[in-house]
Amino acid sequence: MPEQSAVGFPLFPLGIVALPSESIPLHIFEDRYRSMIERCLVGEPGTLGRQFGIVWLSEEELKPVGCACEVETVLERMDDGRLNILTRGTRPFRLIERQDDLPYPAGIVEFLADGPEEPDDEAVSAAHALYQELVKQATDRTLEGDELGELDAYRMAATVEFPAEAKQQLLELRSENARMRLLATLLREALERLELVERAQARARSNGKVRFG
């Protein structure tokens, strides 16, 4: 059974929000965070000992809900001790209390799970359809039904550059149906922005003139 809480859980306050399943490259240079990552690297892959938490340090506050991340690989070790690493988000947590007795930021955390609910097929279908359209417009790639069916809200959101505020909202929701509904709204907005960009680029190419033929 997965751990429900942890004491002395390493924390990395950053200006970003990580989501479960998201791949996050990090450059580690401060001594305290180098110590933190070295601690994670001696842990067994797939265990809590390999993980730390990214929490969003916004302009207003350190957010209470963050995302646990596992160190997947060290991309580069530099002579001065700096590291480039690749991590992946695993699950959300709530910070209960900060701890100051370790050589790196840490805290007591509670890992969060969704409550019981029946899937909202309409919300899921809407989010999948919008995501499929965004992928097609952005990459010319068409996602097949089986591939779409495997994607939850986190997996879809992790591949789109949403603002930190939006990602934090998704992270804090304890309902997959609610995440799907919010994601659908975010995807509609992303498609509208993409359409505006494409129109602006077409206008720039034509010097403001409408071309016939």
Q: Do residues 157 and 19 make contact, with C-beta atoms less than 8 angstroms apart?
A: yes
Does 198 have pLDDT greater than 90? no
Give the type of residue at 85: I
pTM of the model: 0.89
Residues facing residue 10 across a β-bridge = 106
Q: Do residues 157 and 99 make contact, with C-beta atoms less than 8 angstroms apart?
A: no
Tokens of 168: 């934090």
Judged by average pLDDT, the poorest of 7-16, 138-147, 153-162 is 138-147
CA distance 90 to 3: 13
CA distance 69 to 11: 10
Instruction: Note the pLDDT of residue 188.
Output: 96
Using left for φ > 0, alpha for ψ between -120 and 50, and beta otherwise, residue 93 falls in beta
Q: Do residues 13 and 86 make contact, with C-beta atoms less than 8 angstroms apart?
A: no
- Helical residues (DSSP H) of 3-94, grouped into ranges: 31-41
For the segment 58-115, what is each residue's pLDDT rounded down to a tens digit?
998 999 999 999 999 999 999 999 999 999 999 999 999 999 999 999 999 999 999 9
Instruction: Note the pLDDT of residue 201.
Output: 64
Q: Do residues 59 and 66 make contact, with C-beta atoms less than 8 angstroms apart?
A: no
Does 199 have pLDDT greater than 90? no
Tokens of 150: 């495997």
Please report which confidence band the pLDDT of residue 145 belongs to, taking 50, 70 and 90 as the band edges.
Answer: confident
Instruction: Note the pLDDT of residue 195.
Output: 83
CB atoms within 10 A of CB 160: 16
CB atoms within 10 A of CB 5: 12
Instruction: Note the pLDDT of residue 46.
Output: 87
Question: 181: helix, coil or strand?
Answer: helix
Q: For 192, what's the count of Cα atoms within 13 Å in the CB-facing half-sphere? A: 6
CA distance 82 to 31: 9
CB atoms within 10 A of CB 185: 13
